[in-house]
Amino acid sequence: MEELLEHHRRNRKLTTLVENKTTYNADHAELSIYETHEYAESVSLKFDFPVIASMLSGKKVMHIEDIPSFEFFPGESVVMPAGKEMVIDFPLARRNAPTQCLTLGIAPEKIEEVADKFNRKVAIENENSNWRLEDGSASHLIHNADVNHLVKRLVYTFTHTRHSGDLLLDLMIQELIVRLLQTRAKTLLLNDTQEVFSDTRIGMVIRYIRKHLTDKDITVDLLAGKACMSVSHFHKKFKNTLGVSPIDYINAQKIRFSKKLIRESRELRMSEIAFKSGFNNTSYFNRQFKKLELMTPQQFRASVSSG
């Protein structure tokens, strides 16, 4: 990200050390890069339009009404409705290591247009599919790899092009809205403690996976049957809604569970952890762990032990 922002740094004007703002405009959207170069507390920001705020470097502590205060790191976003205040602390900002964040303001009609298309794509018969990026409350979302890559492309295109980039930016903004809708849907379905989505097929399948995560016979065929859908139709609707295939989702949840076992049960062999996490063999467990965590289970155990 530092190399990506080099062009921005060479051309921007630094007029303040706290939340210095540089804005880049395009059709239907504007991107602003904020830089803070010194420790600061209780800095207030409010926007007249909905924005997506994504961290680029450093750390913030965010205080937003209706959300418990949280630490805000690169690889995360906050979706802010128009008119809602965020109050920010900058505990790590320094002149040689500024805290950097972007805000992407998108025309509400563009968000609504893309959200409507998304909802038509993920709707299953008469079930209510009404996913929205913002409903008057803020959302704190953790990126997946696709969203991280897309944020970098947006920063590069906004900061390196002028009018010729608008078509590319429009396509990327549409993709970002879809990706964040998928992230929001996934977050709400995973944290549906009050079972608001229990009467939806995808919600029911998520709940089934959660209850039977360590079973070794969870297959797409089984889940499609639970949802009363054909395998191909179920696979398409699941991936459209959550941005990930059913098998990749199950494996990610199993790896997440295995990390918990590794932290808490250091005496267990990796073959036992693989079995307890619902994998049929250790080699497949090792491949999936490295694919998702970019390290082997043994390397993760070593990092936990050394910490």
Q: pLDDT per residue over 284-302, tens digit each?
A: 999 999 988 888 999 999 8
Residue among 90, 57, 48 at smallest CA distance from 76 = 57
Mean pLDDT estimate for the chain: 87
Every domain range in the chain assigned CATH 1.10.10.60: 194-307
Lowest average pLDDT, out of 16-20, 228-232, 276-280, 303-307, goes to 303-307
Lowest average pLDDT, out of 115-119, 160-164, 181-185, 266-270, goes to 160-164
What residues does 99 pair with on adjacent strands? 36
Every domain range in the chain assigned CATH 2.60.120.280: 6-190
Q: Is residue 122 within 8 Å of residue 189, measured between CB atoms?
A: no
- What homologous superfamily does CATH list for 194-307? Homeodomain-like (1.10.10.60)
pLDDT at 270 over 70: yes
Residue among 179, 170, 204, 173 at smallest CA distance from 189 = 204
Which pLDDT tens digit goes with each residue over 229-254? Answer: 999 999 998 988 888 899 999 999 99
Tokens of 26: 């395009």
Per-residue b or e along 223-253, where b marks 16 or more CB atoms closer than 10 Å to that residue's CB: bbeebebebeebbebbbbbbbbebeebbbeb
Lowest average pLDDT, out of 41-45, 117-121, 124-128, goes to 124-128
Query: How many degrees, rounded to 5, is the angle at CA 47 between CA 45 and CA 51?
Result: 105
Which pLDDT belongs to residue 221? 94
Which pLDDT tens digit goes with each residue over 45-89? Answer: 999 888 999 999 999 999 998 789 999 999 899 989 889 999 999
Instruction: Compute the half-sphere exposure of residue 299: CA atoms within 13 Å on the CB side of its CA.
Output: 7
Give the integer Cα–Cα distance in Å for 147 and 267.
Answer: 37
Lowest average pLDDT, out of 7-21, 107-121, 122-136, 212-226, goes to 122-136
pLDDT at 20 over 80: yes
Which pLDDT belongs to residue 199? 61
Q: Is residue 239 within 8 Å of residue 121, measured between CB atoms?
A: no
Residue 22 phi, psi dihedral angles, 5° rounding: -125, 130
Give the integer Cα–Cα distance in Å for 201 and 243.
Answer: 16
Q: Which CATH number fits domain 6-190: 1.10.600.10, 3.40.50.300, 2.60.120.280, 3.40.630.30?
A: 2.60.120.280
pLDDT band at 306 (very low <50, low <70, confident <90, very high): low
Which pLDDT tens digit goes with each residue over 174-225? Answer: 999 898 888 888 777 777 655 556 668 888 898 899 899 988 888 999 999 9
Give the integer Cα–Cα distance in Å for 50 and 28.
Answer: 12
